[in-house]
A and B are shown apart, each in its own frame.
Chain A
Amino acid sequence: MVQTSICFSQNDDRLSYQAYLLDHINDALIACDNDLRLTAWNHAAETTYGWEAGEVLGKPVDEVLAYPDPAPHDIRQMYDQLLANGQFFGEMIHSRKDGTPVFIESRTIALKDADGNCNGFVSVNRNIAERILAQQAQAQLAAIVQSSDDAIFGNSTEGLITSWNKAAERMYGYSEAEILGLRSHVLAPPDRQEEVDRTLEKVNRGESIEHFETVRERKDGRKINVSLTISPIVEEGRVTGSAVIARDITLQKLAEQKLLKTAEDLARSNAELEQFAYIASHDLQEPLRMVTNYLQLIERRYKNRLDADADDFIAFAVDGAARMQHLINDLLSYSRVGRRESRFNPVDLNRVYTQVVSNLSVAIQEKKGEVTCDPLPTILGDELQLAQVFQNLIANGLKFHAQDAPRVHVSAFRKGDYWTLVVKDHGIGIDPEHHERIFGIFQRLHGVNEYPGTGIGLAICKKIIERHHGKIWVESQPNDGASFHFTLLAL
């Protein structure tokens, strides 16, 4: 007797109504007789397993549903158990018509006849694929939380700790068992308790706190520097708790402090050096003034009244003293670059250029020079010091010219956050072997009689540009002019 459906009598409305209901419930409803042959197969069973009722009714249930893992005979075992216990509830994997697995939660009961003997089984099988996937996803998340290097723990809205990962155990020294249910206030030292209250209030309002650096206390009393990221947990529009991620930044803080101290030491050392240079040059000036002035007085008063040798001696002495004064002046200027308080404002380099060219107008006229420029940017810096740089570089361009009249051109191009300024001349050029040296103090490449100057100009430029967090360098070949490049922060 092969039953084709659970619809017994067309004429019995109640029965047919019930049969209709059973046929259309969401869960797969299947039944089999004592020999485990399928006697019922509803609509949901068809969609769940892929078999149409006509294909499977009368076949053994294990043949139809068994998935290789677990092995087919386990289904038989299940039914044996059913005979003993009367019912079965559990999760299993069944096979679809196409061989793919489907996760099933099954409630099966043994049907009894009037005498209490088993005459079949009926199962309500639910497809729990979604639930299984969700469980797997959750398990994976839990594994991620547990394996994280950062301490991750959950708080209730009252601040009670609701979860605690392995890293939290290591960081704070409390085991999961010890800490669950305690308020997260135990993690903070006495002077930070209010802070915990405030952050709790904030996060309960739905706000996040990111990378908040503070101090916490381990179980053993040791204080640690931590960076906290606290996010509210929102379910259906309400904040139900918060998740805290804590990173131990104690080592990082130590490194920062060490760096700060080194920077402070360096700054102090620099300040001392600059002060030394200032005092040295300042105090050297007075005796030098005496030498210079009185030599000049002698020269004035007694020239042509002593012999020619005396005139020569005096001339050399006066000249030497004068040069020494220039050196000291320049050293003072150089040390002043550092002593001046840094005040960075937007500086329009076109204005600086115009001012400098005006300052150099006499020199430009004398040498019949030509100084030009492209439109220049506005950058962040110290206007007075930048004027010094422009003046030194353009004056150099005018000074170190070859046979032709000097030509100097200033241009600029932008590269990322910086502008590169270029002061280019067509003069005598600089051999690459000297490209670094020339930026040193009092470094000169020529004799005193060839070109004037103490050799401090480029050193001053370098110091100023470095204070502006930029770089300065030269590109040049002998007899091919020189291009001085320096970088400044764009606005």
Chain B
Amino acid sequence: MTILSGTPVDILLIEDNPGDVRLMREALKDYRVQNKLWVVSDGLKAMAFLHKEGEFCEAPRPDLILLDLNLPRKDGRWVLQEIKNNESLRKIPVVILTTSSAEADILKAYELHANCYITKPLDLEQFINVVMSIEGFWLTIVKLPPKEEA
């Protein structure tokens, strides 16, 4: 599936920090591809969204998942495992976006089959560049698997 201009892409952001959420929105404003950013603030809500349960029964299947590792209650590693253990969900690319540059975290994320791991940069310019790169890479350059019915 290639993204035709005009086809909005659905991005699910799993992030509990409102500051980071807002930053992501601001950064995505400049993105040339039409996108809709869906936000959930913890792991349980994330899985409910992906399984279209409860309040999320109308939720779309995201084209890309941005996942913060440090979430309240169920942390990002648990969410990653859940997604990758699910036959249908595991096809959605997951980008780990987090502040930790510790080697142990990186290794664990890749062991859990994250598609890639990006450390949140500390500078706005850099942050925006990173976000642009993610979207640019995964949604424009890369071929994604066709959208299935859940």
By a beta-carbon cutoff of 8 Å, the part of chain A in contact with chain B is 282, 285-286, 288-290, 292-294, 296-297, 300, 322, 325, 329
Determine the residue in chain A with the shortest Cβ distance to B127.
A293
Taking a contact as CB atoms closer than 8 A, the residue among B26, B99, B100, B123 that contacts A292 in the complex is B123
Are B26 and A289 neighbours in the complex by a CB distance under 8 Å? no
* 30 contacts across the A-B interface (CB closer than 8 A): A282-B99, A282-B100, A285-B99, A285-B122, A286-B17, A286-B99, A288-B122, A289-B99, A289-B120, A289-B122, A290-B17, A290-B19, A292-B123, A292-B124, A293-B19, A293-B23, A293-B124, A293-B127, A294-B19, A294-B23, A296-B123, A296-B124, A297-B23, A297-B26, A297-B124, A300-B124, A322-B123, A325-B122, A325-B123, A329-B122
Are A292 and B19 neighbours in the complex by a CB distance under 8 Å? no
Task: Kindly state the interface size class of chain B when it binds its partner.
Answer: 10 to 19
Provide the bound-state CA to CA distance between A322 and B121, in Å: 12
Q: How far is the CB of A79 from chain B (nearest CB, A)?
A: 103
Cβ-based interface call for B55 (8 A): no
Provide the bound-state CA to CA distance between A294 and B120, in Å: 14
Add 13 more A-B contacts to A286-B17, A293-B127, A296-B125 (CB < 8 A). A282-B99, A285-B122, A286-B99, A289-B99, A292-B122, A293-B23, A293-B122, A294-B19, A297-B26, A300-B124, A322-B123, A325-B122, A329-B122
Residues of B with C-beta under 8 A to A300:
124
Residues of B with C-beta under 8 A to A286:
17, 99
Provide the bound-state CA to CA distance between A450 and B27, in Å: 35
Closest 8 CB pairs of A and B: A296-B124, A290-B19, A293-B124, A325-B122, A289-B122, A293-B23, A285-B99, A297-B124
Determine the residue in chain A with the shortest Cβ distance to B70.
A286
Residues of B with C-beta under 8 A to A297:
23, 26, 124
Provide the bound-state CA to CA distance between A286 and B68, in Å: 13
Provide the bound-state CA to CA distance between A285 and B102, in Å: 13
Provide the bound-state CA to CA distance between A297 and B127, in Å: 11
Q: How far is the CB of A374 from chain B (nearest CB, A)?
A: 34
Provide the bound-state CA to CA distance between A87 and B130, in Å: 120
**Binary per-residue interface labels of chain B (117-150) against chain A in the complex, 1 for a CB within 8 Å, 0 otherwise:** 0001011110100000000000000000000000
Provide the bound-state CA to CA distance between A178 and B146, in Å: 95
Instruction: Tell me the residues in window 97-128 of chain B with beta carbons closer than 8 Å to chain A beta carbons.
Output: 99-100, 120, 122-125, 127
Provide the bound-state CA to CA distance between A290 and B22, in Å: 10
Provide the bound-state CA to CA distance between A290 and B15, in Å: 14
Residues of B with C-beta under 8 A to A285:
99, 122
Determine the residue in chain B with the shortest Cβ distance to A325.
B122
Provide the bound-state CA to CA distance between A288 and B20, in Å: 12
**Binary per-residue interface labels of chain B (53-77) against chain A in the complex, 1 for a CB within 8 Å, 0 otherwise:** 0000000000000000000000000
Residues of A with C-beta under 8 A to B26:
297
Provide the bound-state CA to CA distance between A293 and B122, in Å: 7
Residues of A with C-beta under 8 A to B125:
296
Provide the bound-state CA to CA distance between A288 and B19, in Å: 11
Provide the bound-state CA to CA distance between A221 and B125, in Å: 77
Provide the bound-state CA to CA distance between A300 and B125, in Å: 10
Determine the residue in chain B with the shortest Cβ distance to A295.
B124
Q: How far is the CB of B101 from chain A (nearest CB, A)?
A: 9
Provide the bound-state CA to CA distance between A325 and B125, in Å: 15
Question: In the complex, which of the residues A282, A296, A322, A325 has the most CB atoms of chain B within 10 Å of its own CB atom?
Answer: A296
Residues of A with C-beta under 8 A to B19:
290, 293-294
Provide the bound-state CA to CA distance between A289 and B99, in Å: 10
Determine the residue in chain B with the shortest Cβ distance to A299.
B124
Provide the bound-state CA to CA distance between A297 and B123, in Å: 10
Residues of B with C-beta under 8 A to A322:
123
Q: How far is the CB of B120 from chain A (nearest CB, A)?
A: 7
Provide the bound-state CA to CA distance between A322 and B124, in Å: 11
**Binary per-residue interface labels of chain B (13-30) against chain A in the complex, 1 for a CB within 8 Å, 0 otherwise:** 000010100010010000
